[in-house]
């Protein structure tokens, strides 16, 4: 199963960016962890990050065309991008939305994600473990659909 792990703006600075909120894991470590988890679970994982909304939307279109699974941390776009939400709504595989921090325990503007209503499920507040849990869920779906 093909899985895109897509990350929105500022997530390329993980490890440097507000470590008290987002933890000490660097973006390079996150990529390596997701690839290792993919290998362990037999998922074909591709990890990407962009600060450009159009680029993310293009990747979502590609995932839709390929009927791939998606793990998406839309970062700040979660809170206001109807364009990202609309692209997510076109996906044909499962979508797990991940937030490293607990967005509900933070500033009010972070409490709502416009993406969540079109996601299969949402993981937030579990740090970078959320990505691993999302991949485990997708592998479970694959295994159940193979039966």
**Could you give the residue numbers annotated as active site?**
22, 99
Site for ligand DQA in 103-122 (CB under 6 A): 103, 110
Is 10 marked as binding a ligand? no
Is 102 marked as binding a ligand? no
Query: Helix-strand-coil percent breakdown of the chain, rounded to 5?
Result: 50, 20, 30
Candidates 41-49, 53-61, 81-89, 93-101: pick the segment binding ligand DQA (CB under 6 A). Answer: 93-101
Look at the alpha carbons of 132, 138, 141, 146 in this order and tell me if their dihedral is positive or negative.
Answer: negative
Q: Between 76 and 90, whose beta carbon lies closer to ligand DQA? A: 76
Is 50 among the residues that bind ligand DQA (CB under 6 A)?
A: no
Phi/psi-derived region of residue 42, left when phi > 0, alpha when psi is between -120 and 50, beta in every other case = left
Shortest Cβ 82–ligand DQA spacing (Å):
16
Candidates 25-33, 44-52, 88-96, 100-108: pick the segment binding ligand DQA (CB under 6 A). Answer: 100-108
**How far, in Å, CA of 33 to CA of 16, rounded?**
18
| Cβ contact 35:44 at 8 Å | no
User: Where on the chain is the footprint of ligand DQA (CB under 6 A)?
Assistant: 10, 73, 75-76, 78, 99-101, 103, 110
């Amino acid at each position: 199963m093909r899985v895109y792990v897509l990350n929105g703006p500022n997530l390329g600075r993980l490890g440097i960016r507000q470590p008290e909120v987002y933890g000490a894991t660097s973006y390079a470590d996150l990529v390596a962890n997701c690839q290792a988890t993919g290998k362990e679970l037999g998922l074909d994982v591709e990890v990407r990050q962009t600060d450009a909304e159009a680029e993310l939307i293009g990747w979502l279109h590609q995932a839709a065309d390929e009927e791939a699974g998606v793990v998406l941390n839309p970062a700040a776009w979660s809170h206001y991008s109807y364009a990202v939400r609309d692209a997510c709504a076109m996906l044909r595989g499962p979508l797990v939305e991940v937030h490293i921090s607990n967005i509900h325990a933070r500033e009010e503007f972070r409490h709502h994600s416009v993406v969540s209503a079109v996601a299969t499920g949402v993981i937030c507040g579990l740090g970078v473990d959320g990505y691993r849990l999302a991949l485990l869920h997708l592998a479970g779906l694959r295994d159940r659909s193979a039966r």
